[in-house]
Structure 1
Amino acid sequence: MPARLSPVTSILSICALALGLAFAPVPAAAATMGDDGLHKQDWFSLTFRDIAEDIEAANAAGKRLALVFEQRGCIYCRKMHEVLLADPEVADYIKANFMVVQYNMFGDEEVTDLDGETLTEKSAVRKWGYVFTPTVVFLPDTVPTGKSVAQAAVATMPGSFGKGTFLDMFRWVREKGYETDEHFQKYHARMIEQRRKASAKTN
């Protein structure tokens, strides 16, 4: 016959369960599908796609500007939204440190490049030479003079990677690793080793 729990033990067990639920990781909000066939995060920024203005807006908020290029039916874009951006650690870091603006690789919305040229999304993508989706482009924290987005970008991440690589790229940009002698690959390797050591200590 199973042992009966005392009223006090039962109350303590319920409290422990409630606390566990309260402090359990909360999944990031699920992406929705837009009319353009692209997955949407509710924390993506909607702007007039004037890149210089967006850099200034991000800077005023204490963040960096990242542009993400996607296309309808892209399975790797779906993975980015449903796996990477659904991870609270990834989503929370990006939301806290970056202003993200989504671009449709074949879209017709008007874009104003950093050099002042006005063109459509799809024309801008051709001008900048981006061919993969998703592609994440990181801009400097100040508006450059006479450069296009492709020329001004401090880093570009083509394709969808694993969580560690994806998040480390955002961290490397935020920490301005591109201004140091530590190439991203070396930074990423160092972060992998740090995580390995931290995991070994807790096991």
Structure 2
Amino acid sequence: MVRSILVAAAFAVLAALPARAEVGEDGLHKEAWFSITFRDIAEDIAQAKSENKRLVLSIEQRGCIYCQAMHEKLLSDPEVRDYIKANFMVVQYNMFGDEEVTDTDGESLTEKTAVRKWGYLFTPTLVFLPEDPPTDLSVDKAAVAVMPGAFGKWTFLNMFRWVREKGYETDEPFQIYHARIIQELRAAGRLGAE
């Protein structure tokens, strides 16, 4: 009896631990729900739109502890994961990868030359793209928002919400939007005073 209680308690503790993200052959942490595409970004934008979603590029690199934290702490959180899955098509890019990419301006490059062209220096960097692909702008110029680096749950999730709600088209910048949402969460008792 005591043994079965201890075994059940051990399984409960293991179930409560954050999920460890799978690591692919390229050294990047993987999510089963990330989209695998031909990396033609204009086509990916169109595909996301046809699914009533927005395209976001997740630029990562092997050994990145912040990428690992994003996968294990943020993308494993059901509230965060479920919101992103329902509203965004995520395509992962390797900052130093050799896969072919077709930029929104039509230029063909490798992942590493595309990331260098776009000027992104940190991982993870999340690049949120418009609903309609531009034909004369590269990704860095077409992006409606960019989130460089690792953030806490609410900053991370609120950026996705702000983009989905097209906050970039309003007079409310992300920082004001985020502060307002945090106040609403506190008022609803979903956040402490931290």
TM-score, normalised with respect to structure 2: 0.88
Aligned to 1:175: 165
Q: What residue identity is the alignment partner of 1:158?
A: P
User: Alignment partner for residue 185 of structure 1, among 155, 175, 185?
Assistant: 175
Q: Deviations over 1:51-77 (max 9, x none)?
A: 000000000000000000000000000
Q: For residue 127 of structure 2, what is the aligned residue in structure 1? A: 137
Change in CA separation of 1:125 and 1:115 when aligned onto 2, cut-off 3 Å: same
1:104-128 Cα shifts (integer Å, max 9, x gaps) = 0000000000111000000000000
- Report the alpha carbon displacement of residue 145 of structure 1 after superposing the two structures with TM: 2.4
The count of residues paired between Structure 1 and Structure 2 equals: 178
Shift of 1:138: 0.1
Say which of 106, 122, 126 aligns to 2:116.
126
- Output the CA distance in 2 between the equivalents of 1:28 and 1:43: 17
Structure 1 stretches of at least 4 aligned residues deviating more than 3 Å after TM superposition: 26-30
Is the 2:106–2:135 contact (alpha carbons within 8 Å) kept by the matching residues of 1?
no
1:67 aligns to 2:57 (yes or no): yes
Which secondary structure state, in structure 2, belongs to the residue aligned with residue 199 of structure 1?
Answer: coil
Checking the alignment, whether the CA contact within 8 Å between 1:134 and 1:159 is kept in structure 2 is yes
The CA distance in 2 between the partners of 1:52 and 1:147, in whole Å, is: 11
* Distance in 2, Cα, partners of 1:44 & 1:196: 32
The equivalent of 2:142 in structure 1 is 152
What is the rounded CA distance, in whole Å, between the counterparts of 1:58 and 1:171 in structure 2?
16
What 5-or-longer segments of structure 2 have no aligned partner?
A: 1-15
Larger Rg computed on CA atoms: 1
Q: Structure 1 residue 31: deviation in Å?
A: 2.1
The runs of 5 or more residues in structure 1 that have no matched partner are 1-25
Q: Which amino acid aligns with 1:49?
A: R
3-state SS in 2 of match to 1:137? strand
**After superposition, where does 1:13-162 map in structure 2 within 5 Å?**
30-162=20-152
Deviations 1:78-115 (A, max 9, x none): 00000000100000000000000000000000000011
Q: How far did 1:144 drift? A: 1.2
CA contact (8 A) 1:47 1:101 kept: yes
Q: Which residue of 1 aligns with 2:185?
A: 195
Scaled by the length of structure 1, the TM-score of the pair is: 0.84
Q: Is the 8 A contact 1:66 1:100 kept in 2?
A: yes
Structure 1 residue 27 displacement after superposition: 8.7
For the aligned residue pairs, the C-alpha RMSD in angstroms reads 1.9
